[in-house]
Amino acid sequence: MTAFGAYELGRRLGAGGMGEVFLARRLADGQQVVIKRVLPGLASRPGFVERFLHEVQVLARLHSPCIVRVFDFGEVDGRWFLAMEHVEGLDVAAWLARGPVSLSAACRVVLEGASGLMAAHGARDAAGRATPVVHRDVSPHNLLVDLDGSVKLIDFGVASLGGQGESGGKLAYAAPEQLMDELTSPHGDQYSLGVVAWECLAGQRAFGDVEDVELIRLVTEVGVRPLPASVPSSLAALVQRMTALAPSARFGSMSEVREAWLEVVRGLRLEVGPAALASRAVVEQARPVLPLPAPGDRERQPLSVVETAALGVIRDGMSAEEAEAAIDARTLDGAPFALDVLQGLVEKGALRAEDRDGERRFFR
C-alpha cells in the first residue's frame, strides 16, 4: 500500500493517456474506494485542470443510487485525483457476453439506467435552476451491475451541461443527431439507452459487426433493425420509439420512458427487482469493474467518431505533444480535449502508451 493524502493506494487497475486508476482505502474509516489520479505534468497544460474538474463538477451534482458516487477530489503533491464509489460486479457488456439473459433482467437494466438518467437530466444548480446533464456516452460499457443486483451509470467524462459540449460517445450507441454534430439533448441519451435495451433483449449487437463508415450510415439513415419475433411486441414497441431517427418521435423525457416500461413490465408480469440481476452476478463471481475501461480490449470498447479520426493521424513513437497537435489539426480545436481522445484510445487498446526518456510516447 502507498500513502496518498487521506488514502492508501492498493493495486493499480488501469492506466491511460491522462490518468491511472487504483483500488484504495480511505484512512479515516477503512472504506474501499476507487482513485482516479491524473498523470504527472498534465496539470500544467493549459485548460487541463478545468476539463478534469468538469467531470468532478458533473458527478458531484448528481445524487442517485443508479449513478456512481463521488466521495472526494483534490490535489496531493501536485497530483489531481477523484475518489469514487467502488462497484463490485461487471459491466453490462461483459454481462451480455456471458450468454442470453432473461426478459426480467433486461428490463431491470433499462429501468435502472432510466432512473440514473432521470437524475442527470433533472439536475439543478445551487440556486435551484434547471441545469440538465446529458451523459452522451450511454452504452453497455458504462452501466455496471453490482453483486446486489443494482445498476449504476458511470463515466460522465464527455457529459455536457445543458446540451453544450463536443461530440463524444461510442459509434454504435450514439444518437443520429450526435453523429451529425447537432446540439445534444436528453433525447440522445434516450436513444442510446434504447440501443442498450435492444441488445439486452436480442442478445446480439444492434448493428452487427460493420466498418465505421457503414455503421455511421446505418445509425443516421437506416435506424435500428426490428427486434427478433421472440421478443414481446409490447417491449419491441418501446425500443422502436426510443430509437427513432428523429428526436421528436421519441418519448418526451426519461420519466415517460420509465413509466412506459413499468406499465409493460406489469402487463407481462415480470419480476424486475434486484434478484433479476443479483443471482447471475453472484454466481459469476465477477471481478471488480471500475470507471476505466480495460486496456487492450478494442472489440469490447468500440471507438467514437472522434477517436476513429484521431487514430488515423497517430504515428508510432509520437510524443504526447506531437499526438495532440496532429489530432487538433485533423479533428479538434483545443489540446485539453485532444488529451481526452488519446486517453480513450489507450484505454480501448487502440494505442499503447510508454514512458521513454522522460516523455510519454504512443504506439499503435
> Residue 346: helix, strand or coil by DSSP?
helix
- Other CB atoms within 10 Å distance of the CB of residue 156: 26
User: 137 catalytic, yes or no?
Assistant: yes
Please name every residue paired with 80 in a beta bridge, in sequence order, or none if there are none.
75
Would you give the DSSP letter of residue 204? S
> Residue 212: helix, strand or coil by DSSP?
helix
Under a CB-based contact definition with an 8 Å cutoff, are residues 310 and 341 in contact? yes
Residues 6 or more apart whose Cβ sits within 8 Å of residue 89:
144, 145, 146, 147, 281, 286, 288, 289
Find the catalytic residue in 91, 137, 146, 340: 137
Would you give the DSSP letter of residue 218? I
Residue 19 CA to residue 9 CA, distance in Å, equals 14
Residue pointed to by grid coordinates 443516421: 220
Residues with active-site annotation:
137
